[in-house]
Structure 1
Amino acid sequence: MSENLFQENNTNTTPDSGEEIKKDFKGLLGNAQKFLFELLEIRSNTDPIATKESIIADIPFKGHTSWILICSIFIASVGLNANSTAVVIGAMLISPLMGPILGMGLSLAINDIDMLRRSLKNFTVMVVLSVLTAFLFFYLFPLRDESSELLARTAPDIRDVLIAFFGGLALVIARAKKGTIASVIFGVAIATALMPPLCTVGFGLAIGKPLYALGAMYLFTINTIFIGLATFLVVKYLRFPMVRYANSKRRRFIARIASLVGLAVMIPAGITFYDVLQESLFRKQAQEFLADTIEIYEFEGSGRYENDLTDLHFDKKYGSYIEVAILGTEEVPENIVNTWRNRKNSYTRLIDTELRVLQGGRDDSQQKFDYVNELYESKKAELLTKEERIRVLEEEVANLGRYASQSIPFKEITAEAKVNYEHVIGIGFSNRIQTDFNKTDTTALFEVKFKDGLSQNEGQAQMDKISDWLKVRLKDSTIQVRKVE
């Protein structure tokens, strides 16, 4: 009987326990949902009227604002020229470029075509004035080094898109809050970096490198579009009141125009994001491919792979390629290069990419050696630090002797000497680097060994004849000849 009671009690309590667990779980989910809503909810603490007024106040470009812009352009240009990050940050803090961009995003979101017109006009004037001022500065200023701060603004990637979009979100949310958060505005001004790309556009035009200007303008366009897009989305989410027109037909017309303009902005934004994402993924796989193949290749002699001369070129229309340079006298075997090409095809984004391996170590390839040198000269400005440039140049000087040996037809010289000089039993050749502490020279040195029994006068006469012959034969008056025992 006690056993039956136990079973009865057990059957009665089990459903109650299950219901209690469900209730506790639902309560936990409800509390978590409530907590997250209170944590992330921003509509209740938004002041649409004050936000709109503050953004509209920053749109006009005249008087004080124009002079502030000119000063910030000069400061940014000097900072980029001097490779000073601190000075560039200071220029970004005082730049008024953000005002018209926010105005464009806000006007599209609230259907205000007049505000959009004013924002576009002031934005265009600001951009033209910024580029023109930067161009005049770099054109007239005598020091125009291609610093790392400048070069960093010529090749945007997916990170710049993300920075611009989330920076724009933070900025509009901060502007919409009752009691604007000034520190957020300053931080976004630094993160999105609108001024430095425009200065870099002027720099590229001033030194005659339009690709620099195009890359920097591309970065500025990315920042502008995604800050405007973030503004549009936040204002729509916060449900700012739409502009009303007395004429219903005009209201519908303006709404359609604003919608079309908003769509026209979002479409290139999406295309830009996709293109930059594709290039970023291509570069990531290319770096992985290089790390798994070429960078770990062990050279037996004086050859080396120089990462700073690698060119990763992404082009969907005309074809992408990876170009690497092998410096030194050693040549990578063709079967190894073919192995690298086969390995490349295992990366999904590199299948149609061409692998170009430039080598300067072939004895009969003076033309290719010259081409590698030209490649180095064209790429050395892209080295990010002076220390890196010095290291590469020192290695090149140390290898000059090896390269020079390739231009000496040593086998032919020794064969002719054996026929013409019967007392010679051996010839050696090397390059000699010497300096008088003012300049460093590399000269060709031949060492000649004679048969035993040759008198000193006869030996000296033979040395003079061989020296004259080598200078005429090789067309080099600096050649030195030395007798060895």
Structure 2
Amino acid sequence: MKKNLNQDNITPTEDASGSKEEVKKDFKGLVGSTKVFLRELLDIRTNTDQEATKEAIVADIPFRGHTSWILICSIFIASIGLNANSTAVVIGAMLISPLMGPILGLGMSLAINDVDTLRRSLKNFAIMVVLSVLTAYFFFAVFPIRDESSELLARTAPDIRDVLIAFFGGLALVIARAKKGTIASVIFGVAIATALMPPLCTVGFGLAIGNMDYALGALYLFTINTIFIALATFLIIKLLRFPMVRYANSKKRRLIARVASVIAVLVMVPAGYTFVKALNASGFSNQAHQFISQKIVPYQFSDGGRFMDNFTDINYNNGIDPYIELVFMGDETIPENVIATWERQKNEEFPKLRNTELHIIQGGKNEQVDQLRYVNELYESQKSQLMGKDDKIAFLEAELTRLKKSAARQIPFGDISAEAKANYENLIALEYGNALRTDFNNVDTLSVFQVKWAPGLGAGRISEENKRLLQWLKIRLKDSTVQLRQ
């Protein structure tokens, strides 16, 4: 029986072509399904109540009556929490604070060209800031305990993380506001995360103690939060296509649109500048810490030196004369070639540190009295932060004791050499230095003098002069351990 080889009458070429078409259809179906899934997952337009959102934002703008007293009470609570270094109290104050209303009003009014809402937002924003700062100033000026707690100091030096927190917090807040059935937990969370109130309290603290650096740093952080929350509000309102406010007068409508556009640009320019500035400062700080951990920390001392990592000072200074200050303690000094190597590595391997000065503070290169004063100041300035860190306090106290002993041994070498020359006419050179001596139980520091006599003196005469000079030095310096070498 013969088989029918052309039973289906399908050629291999047609079969391959059909397979490709099926693959294309499957791929298109997968892409389409993915788009639908992502649209359903991320689209926020379909569940937005534009009218209710606008009414809610406008209703939160005014500061009068109950809202003003709530703000004053929350500022007092936050100031007490910052003063007591209590994070829980500060969080509680942020939860009851009504600071966010005028900032959302600013962003929304710019997005929809609503000049009346913009005017009310600006007026109430100014009232909010002045009332908050005055309340905080009054508290810190009257309250007797005004310690510089870590909660306060944390609000004086904003960085890139504060920019990102403010922006994404603002996005979350506006999205939550726009949803039908507002998500209250998100609003409370954003109030905590963006932390508008603590910077204003820190401004009042800085003014109360007369420290303008604290006040300006905290005001800068508050400005960052305000700008980026308003910017996030502006972008979301535009994305959700809220209707623009219409004016009967066409000239007025065009004027309002232009004014709103100009203000929006003015808001975005400092926002972008602040972001870039904070990003540069963050990059500088990261590379500075990498440089220290990779190049400085591994350095091995051979005779009792120590790198004081906790006292490192990294100062970006807005890119103007930035510096890194490294503190070393102990008798051993770091060789010049090692410092030169660090300078070269800093410039070649860490591009953001090329124009950065490297300040090396080490005991061996300073006069003992200056070194003693530096450690005293260092100890006093860091004492409050070192409480509870017994090992560091013990080390500083031991270092202070050693330097006091060393400073006590310092002599007025200029006076001593002049007197020695007047008393001993054959003396032509006198050198002085400290030496360490140990009996393997204790280590003593000795004052050692080296002399050079005029040529032509006999050995007996030199021996006699050495005895007289040594006896005079012991009496003059009141130190029986003085050594004399030739």
Task: Provide the TM-score with structure 1 as the length reference.
Answer: 0.82
Aligned match of 2:22 = 20
- Preserved contact between residue 358 and residue 372 of structure 1 (Cα < 8 Å): no
Change over 3 Å in CA distance of 1:310–1:376 after alignment to 2 = farther
- For residues 410 and 271 of structure 2, the distance between their equivalents in structure 1, rounded to whole angstroms, comes to 62
Shift of 1:364: 4.0
- Preserved contact between residue 359 and residue 369 of structure 1 (Cα < 8 Å): no
Change over 3 Å in CA distance of 1:92–1:470 after alignment to 2 = farther
Does residue 301 of structure 1 match 2:303?
A: yes
Change over 3 Å in CA distance of 1:209–1:303 after alignment to 2 = farther
Q: What are the superposed Cα offsets for residues 374-409 of structure 1, whole Å, 9 maximum, x if unpaired?
A: 35544555x4x6324x44322111123321343244
Q: Secondary structure at the match of 2:317?
A: coil
Does residue 148 of structure 1 match 2:161?
A: no
- Preserved contact between residue 309 and residue 376 of structure 1 (Cα < 8 Å): no
Does residue 224 of structure 1 match 2:229?
A: no
Alignment of 1:149-228 (within 5 A): 149-228=151-230
Q: Secondary structure at the match of 2:297?
A: helix
Matching residue's letter, 1:244: R
Shift of 1:471: 9.7
Q: What number of residue pairs does the alignment pair up?
A: 433
- For residues 296 and 445 of structure 1, the distance between their equivalents in structure 2, rounded to whole angstroms, comes to 29
Matching residue's letter, 1:374: E
Alignment of 1:12-411 (within 5 A): 12-316=14-318, 318-345=320-347, 346-362=349-365, 364-371=367-374, 373-375=376-378, 377-378=380-381, 383=385, 386-388=387-389, 390-409=390-409
- Preserved contact between residue 304 and residue 328 of structure 1 (Cα < 8 Å): yes
Where in structure 1 are there 5+ consecutive unaligned residues? 414-427, 431-443, 447-468
Matching residue's letter, 2:146: R
Q: What are the superposed Cα offsets for residues 317-376 of structure 1, whole Å, 9 maximum, x if unpaired?
A: 632111111123322222111111111012111111111111123474533553454355
- Preserved contact between residue 329 and residue 403 of structure 1 (Cα < 8 Å): no
Q: Secondary structure at the match of 1:296?
A: coil
- For residues 66 and 72 of structure 1, the distance between their equivalents in structure 2, rounded to whole angstroms, comes to 10
Matching residue's letter, 2:388: E
- For residues 74 and 258 of structure 1, the distance between their equivalents in structure 2, rounded to whole angstroms, comes to 36
Matching residue's letter, 2:194: T
Matching residue's letter, 1:189: A
- Preserved contact between residue 109 and residue 235 of structure 1 (Cα < 8 Å): yes
Shift of 1:310: 1.4
Shift of 1:214: 1.1
Matching residue's letter, 1:29: V
- For residues 330 and 315 of structure 2, the distance between their equivalents in structure 1, rounded to whole angstroms, comes to 24
Matching residue's letter, 2:103: I
Alpha carbon RMSD of aligned pairs, Å?
Answer: 3.3
- For residues 91 and 299 of structure 1, the distance between their equivalents in structure 2, rounded to whole angstroms, comes to 50
- Identity level (%): 60
Where in structure 2 are there 5+ consecutive unaligned residues? 414-434, 438-443, 447-472, 482-486
- For residues 412 and 255 of structure 2, the distance between their equivalents in structure 1, rounded to whole angstroms, comes to 87
Matching residue's letter, 1:398: A
- Preserved contact between residue 474 and residue 480 of structure 2 (Cα < 8 Å): no
Change over 3 Å in CA distance of 1:252–1:221 after alignment to 2 = same
Change over 3 Å in CA distance of 1:470–1:182 after alignment to 2 = farther
